[in-house]
Amino acid sequence: MRELANVNGAICALEDAVIPAEDRGCLFGDGVYEVVRAYQGRLWGFRRHWKRFQRSLREIDLQPANLEEIRGWIEETYRSSQIPNATVYFHLTRGASPRSHAWSDPLNPSFFMSVRPFADRAIVAGVKVQSVPDLRWRRCDIKSLNLLPNVLAKQQARKLGAYEALLVDNQGNVTEGSSSAALAILDRTIVAPPQAPSILPSITREYVEEIAVALELAFQQRWLSLAEFRSAGEAFLAGTSDEVTGITHVDGQAVGSGEVGPWTREIQKAYRERIEQRRD
């Protein structure tokens, strides 16, 4: 069991991985990425993550000829790590070339991935979140390497004692967290923002929508103002790393009872059951 990397098909120890200094991913964030969790030796939701990865590639006009080979590299590298519970990160950039905003075809896309063990991050007591202006670009539906606004928002929230930043757009509506989807529960209805260029299509949110049907909860897509979100009966984050994590406070104000709500706990339980039963 060891932390591994893969650079353009070559597996190596993570600490030995080297990428070109003029890779456009380093210079411009010119690439897209995915993060997948593995549970008990199996990549969870990989088909859905791969579909989203392909969509992001299309949206930035990056279509490598060896895409299926890359998929094989991901699976092979994870198997070689022998880490049963892992975080698997991978990205594809447009390639390496002298620094210029525009690129000249053809470039050879550059692939990188890492496999690391993860500690179970289930947060039973719930978390506090802090509202932060959403300063990101207009194509958040692309899982781009350009994450500086997300990084700054998360850091601002942490400095204020919160776990996650709750991003709020110019209209005062909650869009999502800096690294997660943000959902609220009002009167047995899970409310999530509409799918739009300002929202990343969340894999975990997909699972939550499917779980809602089984729990006989309604699932509604509409914008929620920050004030509505704060006054919801329950709220939670959804993401690959955070799974389903209850929100107890927004900007220091309690959500509902100030504890993880009963429906959120039911969703958490159902999500974990799906993982254990391999129903992805």
Per-residue model confidence as pLDDT tens for the chain (280 residues): 899 999 999 999 999 999 999 999 999 999 999 999 999 999 999 999 999 999 999 999 999 999 999 999 999 999 999 999 999 999 999 999 999 999 988 899 999 999 999 976 667 789 999 999 999 999 999 999 999 999 999 999 999 999 999 999 999 999 999 999 999 999 999 999 999 999 999 999 999 999 999 999 999 999 999 999 999 999 999 999 999 999 999 999 999 999 999 999 999 999 999 999 999 9
**Tokens 């007591």, residue located:** 125
Dihedral-angle region of residue 9 (phi above 0 means left; psi in -120 to 50 means alpha; beta otherwise): left
Question: In terms of Cα–Cα distance, which of 93, 73, 92, 77 is closest to 38?
Answer: 77
- Residues paired with residue 115 on neighbouring β-strands, in sequence order: 4, 88
Q: How many CB atoms lie within 10 A of CB 99?
A: 9
Backbone phi and psi for residue 188, each to the nearest 5 degrees, phi listed first: 60, 25
143 classed as catalytic: yes
pTM of the model: 0.96
**What pLDDT, on a 0 to 100 scale, did the predictor assign at position 121?**
62
Superfamily of domain 127-277: D-amino Acid Aminotransferase, subunit A, domain 2 (3.20.10.10)
**What pLDDT, on a 0 to 100 scale, did the predictor assign at position 90?**
98
- Non-local (6+) Cβ contacts of 97 within 8 A are 22, 24, 103, 104, 107
**Tokens 């989203």, residue located:** 52
CATH number attached to the domain at 4-117: 3.30.470.10
**What pLDDT, on a 0 to 100 scale, did the predictor assign at position 124?**
78
Tokens of 93: 């950039």
Residue 227: half-sphere exposure toward Cβ, Cα within 13 Å? 2
Boundaries of every domain in the chain: 4-117, 127-277
**Residues 226, 168: Cα–Cα separation, whole Å:** 7
Q: How many CB atoms lie within 10 A of CB 64?
A: 16
Residue 230: half-sphere exposure toward Cβ, Cα within 13 Å? 14
Task: Write the DSSP assignment of 191-233 as a string of letters.
Answer: EEPPP-TTS---HHHHHHHHHHHHTT-EEEE---BHHHHHTSS
**What pLDDT, on a 0 to 100 scale, did the predictor assign at position 105?**
80
Catalytic one among 51, 128, 143, 159? Answer: 143
